[in-house]
Structure 1
């Protein structure tokens, strides 16, 4: 592709060597939102929007980074890894984790750029972290398996960057498989692949152009509300440890009348886990129509029960629901802005884009950007030659 050609040329011009090239994709989550910190299930997939890296080893301990899209550089050392509070920390944090694990590294050069729309909630940071770890694992012959690489990416973002993210983003980016989604158990990290046959169907992301201004504070509030529900129920059911262990019967019996707000929060999570399991069954039966209806149910729960949507996201879903060829739609991510994810038949894609753009502008006064995606493989080598 053109970007990879540019990155390779930039690397060769700067470092006079041939790099190894890595593709590390962004991710979407088809269903299962706010279930991860409740030890539930998520259903992500890697997509064809990615971070691309051209990397190679040095004979000294220097680190030379070029952020192609930003036109910025970083120069540092393997032996002096301190946070810079810039984009470089996503790279340096992975290096720090590799060293903490006892792996011997030399200096390296890296040029990177991407096709992941920034701010759309597609996890460009996880893609970059995975790509760096994967490239260094290959270049240095470290022999680290994919699961441990992605765990290092998560720790890099948690401990070095300072963002307390869950593991889903890294997992989907690293472990993705073309035309499959990943059913990931956030309690055990056990996972299976479910088929997602994209013949005639595309995943379409519609950006509300609303920033997630409330997401951190409200995320913490929702998490506390869920934990409160578990503590209350544990008096009656000592064996439960999270909402993963809770049933609607438990909620109806003990929370519905006494704590209606906590009931609604917990009920959404319990129902969303079941929607995900039902969705996997639909995919295994190649029933995208049923899966799409479950996506609508997910949005209704997120908007009305968990209350993490916003008027613009609700408007996007309402418009999508009225368009022919749309199988399902819902908000994606933490909420209060960002994107909706839509399943759209390919033969109706152009009309969908036109109608959604027009009606969203009329309803909100805002423009939207639309990104069409396919499900692809996770982090992988493109050019294995090491010089």
Structure 2
């Protein structure tokens, strides 16, 4: 997919840095892969449910050209750092940022595909640590670029699966597939409903005429995040084992209903009951939210976002005081139709649907309130839903 870039200045800057590093006698190509947001459908991915992500206008860019030898030379423009390696030696370096690129090369080799060396400068404006999946954007961007340059014959689904594997196997992060999917398959002004069991994809309209998506970044990441994530997965699995006794067809919480969970509340026990209640309701909430988008009812869609936050706060218990505070600030604001925490939890961003004409005032109010409460500056990011991974012409 060829595209024009939404951020000419950033691309020009990365191009300049490429030429400073590698000289200007190369035929370069430029590729872009966006970060992502998730509107509704949190923690449903590993329960084989549905998610509702979209790719946004914060992106990673690669300026790249092939070499005639076996060397890969990388320049991280945002860090002003370089790293080189041979295609014959994919040893994991102490420096962490090249792990993603080497992981992609390893996946290409595992498929029995051949490439020569290449050199690339890369950078972008996906905020790191804000839950917009800069790593997935980077992986999809590089693999898409190498596929185009070396004619590897990969489809978009191949790129998604290989990028996820690179992160799972080389980087060592057991991420799901949503982030890479959203980055690679994004369509402007549309959200995508991804079935995490079948990988079926369906697009729904998300017009941005009256409302804007604003992310408010708590700037905190509580240490509970990774250990509690693993605990939640185990709690869901425990729920599945109990519910299977009453319906052998249940393989994951995707197969259970809120009614079945309610019927066996006592046997599940308080904690597992609340986890299962949230997940089964959240899976249904994604389906209901998509119907509302088809009807063009964005305010009712926004109400579903609040329902998701309440469930994440009280039933799934993966929120934190900072996230709850930011969502609370919006509840009596008539210019905000929906808000919730976004991502795994214990920090990161809230996602807010704000009337376009009032975004300046909204951001100012939120920044003042957050500074007063926590003495922390609140970064806010305005995002538009854009197309997914592609080459820039």
TM-score (norm 1): 0.97
Which residue does 1:177 correspond to in 2? 187
Which residue does 2:72 correspond to in 1? 63
What is the distance in 1 between the residues matched to 2:139 and 2:222?
22
Which residue does 1:330 correspond to in 2? 340
Does residue 1:29 correspond to 2:38, yes or no? yes
2:12 counterpart (5, 15, 21)? 5
- Contact persistence 1:212–1:338 (CA under 8 A): no
| Residue-by-residue CA offset, 1:17-69 (whole Å, 9 max, x unaligned) | 13100011000000000000000000000000000110110010100000000
1:257 is displaced (CA, Å) by: 6.0
TM-score (norm 2): 0.96
- Contact persistence 1:357–1:368 (CA under 8 A): yes
Q: Which moved more, 1:321-330 or 1:69-78?
A: 321-330
Aligned length: 383
1:232 counterpart (223, 242, 254)? 242
Does residue 1:251 correspond to 2:261, yes or no? yes
- 1:272-311 aligned at under 5 Å gives the runs 272-311=282-321
1:258 is displaced (CA, Å) by: 5.3
- 1:366-381 aligned at under 5 Å gives the runs 366-381=376-391
Does residue 1:14 correspond to 2:21, yes or no? yes
| Residue-by-residue CA offset, 1:265-300 (whole Å, 9 max, x unaligned) | 000000001111111111111111000000000000
DSSP-derived class of the 1:208 partner: strand
Which residue does 2:201 correspond to in 1? 191
- Contact persistence 2:242–2:268 (CA under 8 A): no
Which residue does 1:83 correspond to in 2? 92
What is the distance in 1 between the residues matched to 2:211 and 2:264?
43
| Residue-by-residue CA offset, 1:128-174 (whole Å, 9 max, x unaligned) | 00011000000001110000011100000000000010000000001
DSSP-derived class of the 2:370 partner: helix
DSSP-derived class of the 1:25 partner: strand
DSSP-derived class of the 1:221 partner: helix
What is the distance in 2 between the residues matched to 1:346 and 1:372?
10
DSSP-derived class of the 1:367 partner: coil
- Contact persistence 1:201–1:343 (CA under 8 A): yes
DSSP-derived class of the 1:113 partner: strand
- RMSD after superposition: 1.0
What is the distance in 1 between the residues matched to 2:268 and 2:161?
40
- Contact persistence 2:55–2:182 (CA under 8 A): yes
1:256 is displaced (CA, Å) by: 4.1
**Gap change, CA 1:258 and 1:371, over 3 Å in 2:** closer
1:13 is displaced (CA, Å) by: 3.1
2:52 counterpart (43, 61, 74)? 43
DSSP-derived class of the 2:188 partner: coil
- 1:99-248 aligned at under 5 Å gives the runs 99-248=109-258
What is the distance in 2 between the residues matched to 1:46 and 1:353?
22
Which residue does 1:95 correspond to in 2? 105
1:2 is displaced (CA, Å) by: 1.1
What is the distance in 2 between the residues matched to 1:249 and 1:122?
34
- Contact persistence 2:191–2:205 (CA under 8 A): yes
1:239 is displaced (CA, Å) by: 1.1
Runs of 4 or more off by more than 6 Å in structure 1?
Answer: none
1:321 is displaced (CA, Å) by: 1.8
